């Protein structure tokens, strides 16, 4: 690991100024993702800009009809927060499954949303496409855990469980950069890697994620998060699903169904949503939605199992919503 300077930001604006002044600088909060990447040589910053003591970035409060969560809020604190437990079960369940208890005690929400690929080619000694190479090693290599939706030219999957739940909850992100703040739907914060931008988010080098705003659920909404893992203990998901379903008079009035572990971004399954909106949440509709959830899937040589796995998770999640309705 090469030597680097460590400087504490005194404010969000100071953090942006420090990042702008050094093209190699990287922001750090919990460090559960960045430090291993530095050790692996994925990043070699000359300076780390420490955000941990930056005031105002760890708040969790009700503001003008939304739940505002600062980017520095620790996952452990969010998992036990009463407002989240009582009102946003999909997010609560996602955070509970996001990491081990030890990691949740350190990791932040912003770090979870901004973490980089967990693909072993990206983390290993390979010049993969996401690191600037000419090809995705996983496309023809060991692709058991790679994308079946939205893949190419990179077939990584987005690693964040809270991200999947927050997209289902229609959350918005606020970013601070040299030109000031800008807010956007969280769906637009995550991007499929492209030749023009080999990254999983739209964050520029000199920008930081400040907060996430979640609209309070309407009366009758139900939320669920489910995740399939290779090990019973903490592990990254083979596939996951977050559902936020609106119900009234026995019918589905609104639906957001988002898949995790199957695409380079949290994947909005709009065809599955269309299959249930307007009618009762009954067995036939749930079955149609489960099949529609993987519409357009293109599995690689070793991950076709993810199609049936994702469908099973969607089916089980919608059945749980129906049971909670009863």
Please say whether the beta carbons of 307 and 265 come within 8 A. Answer: no
Average pLDDT score over residue span 237-266:
97
Please say whether the beta carbons of 200 and 161 come within 8 A. Answer: no
**Rounded alpha-carbon distances, angstroms, from residue 216 to 65, 176, 208, 287:** 6, 24, 25, 29
Average pLDDT score over residue span 224-253:
90
Beta bridge partner(s), residue 81: none
Residues 108-134 have pLDDT tens digits of 999 999 999 999 999 999 999 999 999
SS3 135: coil
In this prediction, residue 233 has a pLDDT band, given cuts at 50, 70 and 90, of low
Average pLDDT score over residue span 259-276:
98
pLDDT score, position 99: 80
Percentage of the chain with pLDDT > 70? 98
Beta bridge partner(s), residue 13: none
In this prediction, residue 100 has a pLDDT band, given cuts at 50, 70 and 90, of confident
More confident residue, 58 or 231: 58
What is the token pair recorded at 182?
Answer: 């800008």
In CATH, the number for domain 221-325 is 3.30.390.50
Please state the domain extents for the chain: 60-114+156-215, 221-325
- Topology of the domain comprising 60-114+156-215: 3.30.465
pTM given for the model? 0.96
Residues 270-292 have pLDDT tens digits of 999 999 999 999 999 999 999 99
CA angle in degrees (0–180, nearest 5) for 55-75-265: 105
Of 66, 87, 2, 81, nearest in space to 39 by CA: 2
pLDDT score, position 102: 87
How much is the mean pLDDT over the chain? 95
pLDDT of 326 strictly over 70 = no
pLDDT score, position 149: 98
More confident residue, 266 or 235: 266
What is the token pair recorded at 232?
Answer: 């019973």
| Cα(50)–Cα(42) distance, integer angstroms | 19
pLDDT score, position 32: 87
Average pLDDT score over residue span 152-172:
97
pLDDT of 231 strictly over 80 = no
First and final C-alpha spacing in the chain: 56
More confident residue, 230 or 313: 313
pLDDT of 181 strictly over 70 = yes
| 256-67-213-43 Cα dihedral, nearest 10 degrees | -100
| Radius of gyration for the alpha carbons in the chain, expressed in angstroms and rounded | 20
pLDDT score, position 2: 74
| Cα(132)–Cα(233) distance, integer angstroms | 34
| Cα(14)–Cα(10) distance, integer angstroms | 6
pLDDT score, position 234: 62
Of 300, 296, 205, 214, nearest in space to 259 by CA: 296
Residues 54-91 have pLDDT tens digits of 998 999 999 988 999 999 999 999 999 999 999 999 99
Please say whether the beta carbons of 315 and 294 come within 8 A. Answer: no
Average pLDDT score over residue span 160-182:
97
In this prediction, residue 4 has a pLDDT band, given cuts at 50, 70 and 90, of confident
Please say whether the beta carbons of 48 and 4 come within 8 A. Answer: yes
pLDDT score, position 324: 78
């Amino acid at each position: 690991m090469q030597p680097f300077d460590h400087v504490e930001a005194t404010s969000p604006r100071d953090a942006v100024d420090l990042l702008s002044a050094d093209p190699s600088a990287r922001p750090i909060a919990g460090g559960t993702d960045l430090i291993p990447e530095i050790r692996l040589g994925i990043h070699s910053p000359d300076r780390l800009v420490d955000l941990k003591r930056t005031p105002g970035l760890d708040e969790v409060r009700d503001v003008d009809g939304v739940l505002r969560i600062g980017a520095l809020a620790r996952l452990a604190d969010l998992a036990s927060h009463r407002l989240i437990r009582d009102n946003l079960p999909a997010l609560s369940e996602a955070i509970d499954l996001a990491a081990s208890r030890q990691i949740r005690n350190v990791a932040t929400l912003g770090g979870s949303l901004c973490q980089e690929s967990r693909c072993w080619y990206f983390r290993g000694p390979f010049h993969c496409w996401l690191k600037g190479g000419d090809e995705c090693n996983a496309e023809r290599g060991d692709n058991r855990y790679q994308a079946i939706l939205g893949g190419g030219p990179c077939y990584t999957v987005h690693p964040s469980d809270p991200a999947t739940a927050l997209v289902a909850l229609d959350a918005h992100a606020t970013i601070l950069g040299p030109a000031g703040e800008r807010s956007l739907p969280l769906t637009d914060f995550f991007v499929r890697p492209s030749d023009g931008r080999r990254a999983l988010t739209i964050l520029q080098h000199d920008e930081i994620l400040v907060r996430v705003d979640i609209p309070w659920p309407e009366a009758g909404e139900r939320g669920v998060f489910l995740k399939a893992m290779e090990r019973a203990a903490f592990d990254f998901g083979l596939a996951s699903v977050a559902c936020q379903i609106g119900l009234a008079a026995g019918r589905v009035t609104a639906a957001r169904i988002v898949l995790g572990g199957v695409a380079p971004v949290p994947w909005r399954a709009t065809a599955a949503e269309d299959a249930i909106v307007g009618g009762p949440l009954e067995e036939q509709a749930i079955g149609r939605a489960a099949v529609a959830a993987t519409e357009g899937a293109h599995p690689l040589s070793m991950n076709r199992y993810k199609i049936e796995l994702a469908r099973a998770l969607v089916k089980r999640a919608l059945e749980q919503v129906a049971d909670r309705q009863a």
